[in-house]
Amino acid sequence: MRQIYLDHNATTPVRKEVLEAMMPYFSDECGNASSVHSKGQAARKAVEASREVVAHAIGTEPVDIIFTSGGTESDNCAIKGAAVANLAKGRHIITSEIEHLAVLESCKFAEEELGFEVTRLPVDKHGVVDLNNLKDSIRKDTVLISIMFANNETGTIQPIKEIGKIAKKNGVYFHTDAVQALGKESVDVEDLGVDLCSFSAHKLNGPKGVGALYIRKGVKILPYQTGGHHERRLRAGTLNVPGIVGFAKAVEIAAKDMKKTNKYFEKLTDKLLVGLKKELNEIYLNGHPEHRLSNTLNISFRYIEGESLILNFDMKGIFASTGSACTSGSLEPSHVLTAMGVPPDISQGSIRFSFGYENTEKDVEYCLAEIPPIVKRLREMSPLC
């Protein structure tokens, strides 16, 4: 049976070139990047070359990048680190209702353990925060704004540059979780005016368990993971050399191909949406119609539960998800769709199709042949119809 992986916002396959670049650092070049002997120095050289690639891709200098174990750690490091380091300034954080759990839980930690107040901004029906609302929420004691670049469930992109300007004007640090954006959108930290920015390799055809945090010079954060003197003492732990090398290779390829890939994704997602609409009624696009990641299509199929769809798709070799991989399995409606005002009877039937470079038009044609009969059959059995 054909297998069509359409869950790239959960994770992506490692590219062949990325794997090839990583391989020597598992064995022949196995040195610890902190060791002084030549094997250690070879590893250090690879790490620093990788740091340069990642820094260049986001318009900054290598010294502003620390490597981490991924997006979750980068978010924790940025939010908890900035909160603890700036207690003297105040105890107020602004975030949004649609953030990834790594951000929401870090803010909750600041609230419950450090005595912060957290303002969680609502979003409109497309999932976008209101800039006037943001301005009105800033207080004298606001330390940090944390608003994601692009949402993992819907792909909706926030007005990051405008938020950067507001943060700067008010002397507040601005963190953005750009985990889903890197490789799909231009992330230039100078242009965007962000102070802290989280990345993860496995969302752009790099390996799992490695990521980075951009920290603008002069931004005060305290390390939340302590130990050895790695990463300018901001993140202790032996560096994941193969992972870092693979991350840089993935970033390099994604940056080079970005324009072309986005056009390609647009073609595939448009074809799927138009084709499904032709065959089925009562289906709705969740997310911004234009300001959205080109690879992401979140669709609600009314009258059916997302979980039943996922299982039936799986039987036909189509792999999609009901939303965030981190919250799937819970039968709660998506906090993102709820914040966007999607009623429960529509949000419960939402499916996220997220494309990757290896998907083809033939894959979409297969989906268009297989999905409508599944939806029609499930609707016939649905007590909601």
Catalytic amino acids?
326
**Dist CA 54 CA 299 (whole Å):** 33
Q: With CA atoms as reference, report the closest residue to 244 among 34, 21, 9.
A: 21
Neighbouring C-alpha atoms within 13 Å toward the C-beta of 256: 7
Q: Are strands 350-354 and 296-301 parallel, antiparallel or unpaired?
A: antiparallel
Question: Which residue lies nearest ligand PLP, judged by its C-beta?
Answer: 71
Spatial strand order in the sheet of 173-177? 65-68, 211-215, 196-200, 173-177, 142-146, 92-96, 117-121
Q: Are 34 and 231 a contacting pair, CB within 8 Å?
A: no
Contacts with ligand PLP by CB under 6 A lie at 70-72, 75, 100, 102, 148, 152, 177, 179-180, 200, 202, 211, 325-326
Structure tokens, 223: 């390390």
**Chain CA centroid to CA 155, Å:** 9
101-117 as b/e: b if 16+ CB within 10 A: ebbbebbbbbeeeeebe
Q: Are 356 and 260 a contacting pair, CB within 8 Å?
A: no
Q: Are 138 and 280 a contacting pair, CB within 8 Å?
A: no
CB atoms within 10 A of CB 282: 14
Spatial strand order in the sheet of 283-286? 283-286, 296-301, 350-354
- Provide the angle, in degrees to the nearest 10, between the axes of the packed helices 241-279 and 361-381: 60
Longest dimension (CA), the chain: 70
Residues in the chain: 385
**Chain CA centroid to CA 25, Å:** 27
Q: Pick the closer one to ligand PLP by CB: 72 or 294.
A: 72
Q: Are 174 and 152 a contacting pair, CB within 8 Å?
A: no
**Dist CA 2 CA 42 (whole Å):** 43
